[in-house]
Amino acid sequence: MGRDVLQLLLVGGRTALGMAIGAVVIAYVIGGLIGLVAASTRHRWLDEGLIRPLDVLLPLPSLLVISVVAVGWRASALAITLAVALVNVPTVARLVRAAALDAASSPVVEALRMQRESWFTIHLGYVGRSVLGPVAADLGTRITLAVFLVASVNFLGLGLSPTAPDWAVSISRNREGLLLQPWSVLAPALLLVSFTLGFNLLADRLLHYSRHPTEATQ
């Protein structure tokens, strides 16, 4: 209480959104690469060896895994970010693999191989472009889930320091004084909701324009 609410809001967004977006970027880099390799390999054992271990992580409750990591590395934004990325890697890898299978087995890829094009040119260039649509559709939901996980851990007091200006920490810290200073709780809560809704609407709009590019010029 007695703090500058506006300043806390402006500073608190750096951790609330930075950790979530950073985790999603890491998950797409790692999971996307695994998915592309699994989809493009001609060896079934390599495909199984890459995807099956990730299936072990799928049934684990995401919030529980992140909470355990947060307790072990208290107040570490990097640890929480990596934990959120870890629980998203299996689903990202499966999404990219499923989206890339058809393109990876197409005649175009065979022609590129006969021309002795590099692996990166074939799979990050041609095959990679084929997964942009599904990835764009998944991006809004993925970042929303990451924001929810990061905010949940911080709200429960298992993540960042109780004195941190993070939005979820501010909600948790000030909820007992809701009647005295409601904006200290309502403002960060509204910003979290506004960001998740706004980002999903933006992602949907960009995906729509990518499918109907002529509408974007009208």
pLDDT (tens digit, 9 = 90+) per residue, 131-164? 887 887 788 888 888 998 888 888 888 888 887 8
Reported confidence tier of residue 1, pLDDT bands at 50, 70, 90: very low
In sign, the C-alpha dihedral spanning 143, 148, 153, 154 is positive
Q: Report whether pLDDT(118) > 50.
A: yes
pLDDT at 104: 75
Question: 10 Å Cβ neighbour count for 94?
Answer: 18
**Whether the model pTM is above 0.85:** no
pLDDT at 103: 77
57: phi then psi, degrees, rounded to nearest 5: -80, -20
- 15 token code pair: 């951790």
What span, in angstroms and rounded, lies between the C-alpha atoms of 42 and 104? 10
Model confidence pLDDT, tens digit, residues 166-201: 888 888 888 887 777 787 788 888 888 888 888 878
Return the residue matching tokens 């979530």: 20
Q: Report whether pLDDT(206) > 70.
A: no
Burial class of residue 212, CB neighbours in 10 A (0-12, 13-18, 19+): exposed
pLDDT at 92: 92
